Amino acid sequence: MKTLEEKPFALLGINSDRDKTKLKERMKEEHITWRSWWDNGDTNGPIASQWNVKGWPTIYILDEKGIIRYKSLGGDEAAIDATLRDLLSKLGHPIEFEGKAEKPERK
């Protein structure tokens, strides 16, 4: 995630875990610092339903106009990196990922 600092990029999360207290504990343990929403503890919650999420993780990449440019169930790291690289380059913010796709930094 360090590569994306200072770039026009936002990481958002949606979670459907049933137990909100356990979810908060796990997010703290896993150092999840990005903005995240709880979808009422239901895999058919309002967010998952509206975005047509059928499995986890589902990854969407939207451009600066809110147009979906990538959607994947499970997440192909190389495709995600390529999509981010392409979109940010078009905005004048080229990036290069070193090695494999970066994981969120643990603090």
Query: Considering only CA atoms, which of 69, 76, 75 is closest in space to residue 9?
Result: 69
107 in a domain, yes or no?
no
Total-model pTM? 0.72
- Return the ∠ at Cα 53 (arms to 106 and 83), rounded to 5°: 60
Which structural domain, as residue segments, surrounds residue 40?
2-90
Q: Is 99 among the domain residues?
A: no
CATH of residue 24's domain is 3.40.30.10
For 71, other C-beta atoms within 10 Å of its C-beta total 13
Are 59 and 80 in contact by the 8 Å Cβ rule? The answer is yes
d(CA 71, CA 52): 11
Judge whether 95 lies within some domain.
no
- Residue 106 inside a domain? The answer is no
Interval 22-80: pLDDT, tens: 999 999 998 888 889 999 998 999 999 999 999 888 999 998 888 998 999 987 889 98
| Neighbour count for residue 48 (Cβ, 10 Å) | 20
At 97, is the secondary structure helix, strand, or coil? coil
Does residue 84 fall inside a structural domain? yes
Q: At residue 102, what is the residue type? A: E
Q: 105 lies in a domain?
A: no
Q: Give me 25's structure tokens.
A: 């504990």
Name the domain count of the chain.
1
